[in-house]
Amino acid sequence: MKINTRFKYSSLAVALLTAFSAQAFAEDTVTSADSNVETITVMGKAYRNTATKTVLAPEETPQTLNVIESEQMEQRGVKSVMQALRYAPGVSTENKGGAVVLSDWVKIRGFGSTNNYYDGMMLPILPGWNVQPQIDPIAMERLEIFKGPTSVLYGSMPPGGMVNIIAKAPKFEESTKIGLATGLDNLVEASIDTTGALSDNVAYRLVALGRKKDTQVDGVEEERYVIAPSIDWYVSDKTFINFNLYYQNDPALGQNVTLPLAAIESGKISPSTFAGDVNYNTIKRDFLVTGYKFNHDFNSNWAFLQNFRYMKTDFYQESTASGNFDASTGSLARSAYSTDESSSGISVDNQLSGLVSTGSLDHYLLFGVDYRNIEGDVAYDAFSGVDSINLYNPNNNKLNPNDFTKTYYQNNDIEVSQLGFYFQDQMLIDNWVFIAGGRFDKVETTTKVSVLGSAPSKTDTDDTNFSYRLGALYKFDNGLSPFANFATSFEPSVKLDTNGNNLDPETGEQVEFGLKYDSYENMISGSMALFQVNKKNVGVRPDGASPWTSVGEIRSQGIELEGRAQVTDNLDVLANYTYTDMEITEDRNASNIGQTPVFVPDHTANVWANYFVRSGAMSGLRVGGGVRYVGETVLNDTSDKNKGQVPSYTLVDLSLGYDLGEVNSSLKNATANVVANNIFNEEYYTCWNESYCWYGQEQTVEFNVNYEF
């Protein structure tokens, strides 16, 4: 959808306002709309904006929003959301090194983001555990990264921002794409993406993938299978229903065993060094996500959207944990543990939207009620009787689980429910956009815990919160758009006080000033944002054992710069830079004040460029490449307060694509691609503290062929 720079909205735009996460109208319906519509061009589906749940475009939203398209992800050969975010400003990725498909835990503006969103609905995780769906890029149309608090529209979340995955949607135009890939580490991958019409008013899409490869760590594999069918049914020109399902089976998710910093700095180990054992290293996951979207237009001004989802997830791991390390001998003490986790839940989001005009001021109103419930159980076991390992000469095939002795167990039954009521008013007058919104949430959590040697316990929490945001943007005719906003957020806490009760929710607020630019025909676009985010009521304690107290505060401030340019018909360039100044401003332990949290680089910068050869002997060739710079981070937790620095690193990526139809007309619509990440095989690492570090992902090379018909 394209909206003119003067914000002249038609009746059609109003109807599209509720089409977040849904294809609201078929092309034949759109083309029969009011003949006076001049300001909007609809490309067969409605625009879905994470920032507003409406049709307002990113460049017209008074808050920072970054978008990553599926084409970019394919060019860069990404296998997870975390990898897809490598070139996004203000996002810290791969905080657990080369384990890039294990989880999508990232930091946005310095604050952890564990819960991704899938078509506008949270993929929840059990508080404090690991069981969480992780959508594969094969099923993604694009990613939207919204910066700053978004609790007004989505409920509980961290103040740094959120990542929303937009799923591939059915199309009426027939199309099938088959992909085959191979590469280093014995990579084998096959995929299919097919879509088309089942009838005049029903379209389908089916996405499927199988992948298997070794990891950079000796004796450890990754394996994944995906199937994602969906159907769009245009019941009438006023009613639309989408049915969708996503199933993923991960029989092997790699490894999560840490390495001590002293071993890395010794130069006697490498990224292939495995501190675990092949006889006790299982990480597997299985999950199903299914639901529907229902959209009905009452008239040209008012519409209703309901988005419903059911989720079932299982996660199981057996692994070793690193203990004391002797740098002189290479001996690393180990223990063993297992977690058996499962969860299920439902989510539903009801939205009523419409237009009310008062003179020259148009109010695009949104009223919503959403509900989310997740319940699950976790069994955690810890074992002794685990032999140490010599990291300088590791033997990863020596443990016998039958020799382990259980020293601890913990069984958790957890249920979390959230009920929210929200509203939003987008006011448009001339070149101005104003946004005001508020939300009331009620969050209830019940946790039952059984621990070895202790009586079972039960903790109930009942939290309420009101979130709000205000924003304004002015769009000049020359493409410049200054904006400002203030927004709040909240997160229920799982930390316990001296009475065994959960702490009050942690709250956040952001002040942001920025400037966006979009040139004629989008040849040049960019943004600049100055931000300050404060997280308050943070649970802290002076040591690693005493009860928590809600007296902490963390401040993050900085600048984000991003630019895109179609330099010539053959060359496009993306570049960004982020400076983040983050520190603890309040804490029970005075020595913590002024410290910087882990995994937050002060400087990051990225550049990516594509050059397309459109004539001559090399016509059909695409040469792409990028450079990623990640600045220093600190070693910082309860016992290691900024003791040291994790070095900065710079990585270079390369992507080559060729249209095989240029060689032979019979190969029309077939492409061959080579993707190499970290092409110089730079060694780098990330750390939580001196005992828990991970090597970053080493060089990867993939060759793939895609055929579309």
Report the half-sphere exposure of 287 (CA within 13 A, side-chain side): 26
Nearest C-alpha neighbor of 201 from the set 172, 179, 238, 244: 172
How far, in Å, CA of 505 to CA of 465, rounded?
Answer: 8
Q: What pLDDT was estimated at residue 636? A: 65
CB 262 within 8 A of CB 690: yes
Quick one: which H or E segment has residue 263?
Answer: helix 261-266
Q: What pLDDT was estimated at residue 164? A: 93
Q: What pLDDT was estimated at residue 642? A: 58
Q: What pLDDT was estimated at residue 44? A: 32
Q: What pLDDT was estimated at residue 1? A: 33
Tell me the per-residue pLDDT of 320-379, one tens digit each, with 9 for 90 and over. Answer: 999 999 999 999 999 999 999 999 999 999 999 999 988 889 998 999 999 999 999 999
How far, in Å, CA of 6 to CA of 15, rounded?
Answer: 19
Structure tokens at 555: 């401040």
Nearest C-alpha neighbor of 650 from the set 626, 670, 616, 633: 626
Quick one: which H or E segment has residue 149?
Answer: none
Distance set, CA 692 to CA 258, 268, 372, 505, 646 (Å): 5, 17, 34, 28, 12
Tell me the per-residue pLDDT of 493-547, one tens digit each, with 9 for 90 and over. Answer: 877 777 777 788 899 999 999 999 998 777 899 999 999 999 998 887 766 566 7
Q: What is the CA radius of gyration of the chain?
A: 25
Q: What pLDDT was estimated at residue 537? A: 87
124: helix, strand or coil = coil
Instruction: Return the DSSP state at 681.
Output: -
Report the half-sphere exposure of 186 (CA within 13 A, side-chain side): 11
Q: What pLDDT was estimated at residue 206? A: 98
**Could you say which residues of the chain have pLDDT below 70?**
1-49, 55, 542-546, 636-643
How far, in Å, CA of 386 to CA of 115, rounded?
Answer: 34
